[in-house]
Amino acid sequence: MRFITIRLKSVLAVGLCALLAAASILTAHASGAAEVYASGARSLPIYCVAREDNKIAISFDCAWGTDHTDAILKALEAGKVRATFFTVQFWAEEHADYLEKIAAAGHEVGTHSATHSYMSRLSEEEIKRELQSSSEVIERVTGKKTELFRPPYGDYDDLLIDTANGMGLFPIQWDVDSLDWKDLSAADIAARILERTKSGSIILCHNNGLNTAEALPLVIDGLRAKGFEFVPVGELIYRENYTIDVAGKQIPAR
């Protein structure tokens, strides 16, 4: 089975992943982001993955600027970490040289939409155009098929998730938010990530976070010391025969 639409029951506080996906109100990470309400039958993206092998993924959203991207790529290279970058189409077009650098370094690239809009407000045809055009730009630059999609602002509804799934894209959220977009210090970014990461976690960062590059060595060394292994999101998730529970956790079929 490619994906499963589930029905929410009574919400239980089952760790941070549950709080993010199944709480009555999910507040997106970006300033001014819409509130997403989780009630009734919902189609959910993947917030985290049920794994017992301590594999985790770190991801970077690319929408604005490149001032700190070189430093981030150097930190990832020094730490021998392959990450996942979600790029908006206009960023990919304006900074195709950086997209090439990211792909050439062995990192995975997914789409973050074409225009970075609130996609729960779009029609099915508008969603398809956003995902298709952005994927085509990424594939043209990197030479690799786009398989992952992160909704801008963390904003989604059933139509968006079902449409993305129908196009062969895995919708991906996160269960560990670095809050690097708030310009936290490197120490604070690292502390947030180290405290919240568990096996199967997906960590959210940004390519233009002010102190993200400085925090990465602390994050990489600290998580490795705890026994975690970094892999791209595409290697963390299950590709078939899975369910997604009320917490947004992807679980392999028994």
Site of tokens 């405290």: 195
In a domain, 135, yes or no: yes
pLDDT of residue 218: 98
What would the mean pLDDT of 144-149 be, rounded to a whole number? 97
Confidence of residue 228 (pLDDT cuts 50, 70, 90): very high
Number of domains in the chain: 1
Q: Is the pLDDT of residue 26 over 60?
A: no
Q: Is the pLDDT of residue 15 over 80?
A: no
Q: Is the pLDDT of residue 12 over 80?
A: no
What would the mean pLDDT of 211-235 be, rounded to a whole number? 98
In a domain, 1, yes or no: no
Q: Is the pLDDT of residue 145 over 60?
A: yes
Nearest to 90 by CA among 125, 64, 51: 64
Q: Is the pLDDT of residue 163 over 90?
A: yes
Q: Is the pLDDT of residue 124 over 60?
A: yes
pLDDT over 70 percentage in the chain? 84
pLDDT of residue 18: 47
Q: Is the pLDDT of residue 221 over 90?
A: yes
In a domain, 47, yes or no: yes
Average pLDDT, the chain: 88
Confidence of residue 41 (pLDDT cuts 50, 70, 90): low
Beta carbons of 84 and 107 less than 8 angstroms apart: yes
Beta carbons of 237 and 210 less than 8 angstroms apart: no
Structural domain containing residue 184: 6-252
**Helices 96-104 & 124-142 angle (0-180, nearest 10):** 70
Q: How far apart are CA 193 and CA 139, in angstroms?
A: 31
Q: Is the pLDDT of residue 133 over 50?
A: yes
Sign of the dihedral defined by the CA atoms of residues 139, 63, 240, 81, in that order: positive
Q: Do strands 6-7 and 41-42 pair parallel, antiparallel, or not at all (unpaired)?
A: antiparallel
CATH of the domain at 107: 3.20.20.370
Q: What is the largest CA-CA distance in the chain?
A: 48
What would the mean pLDDT of 120-134 be, rounded to a whole number? 98
| Model confidence, pTM | 0.85
pLDDT of residue 11: 35
What would the mean pLDDT of 235-240 be, rounded to a whole number? 97
Q: Is the pLDDT of residue 20 over 80?
A: no
Confidence of residue 3 (pLDDT cuts 50, 70, 90): very low
Q: How far apart are CA 225 and CA 227, in angstroms?
A: 5
Q: How far apart are CA 4 and CA 219, in angstroms?
A: 33
In a domain, 205, yes or no: yes
The DSSP H or E segment spanning 35 is strand 35-37
Beta carbons of 180 and 39 less than 8 angstroms apart: no
In a domain, 203, yes or no: yes
Stretch among 30-34, 130-134, 139-143, 228-232 having the lowest mean pLDDT: 30-34
3-state secondary structure of 221: helix
In a domain, 237, yes or no: yes
Q: Do strands 249-252 and 35-37 pair parallel, antiparallel, or not at all (unpaired)?
A: unpaired
What would the mean pLDDT of 204-210 be, rounded to a whole number? 97
DSSP state of 152: G
Q: How far apart are CA 230 and CA 83, in angstroms?
A: 8
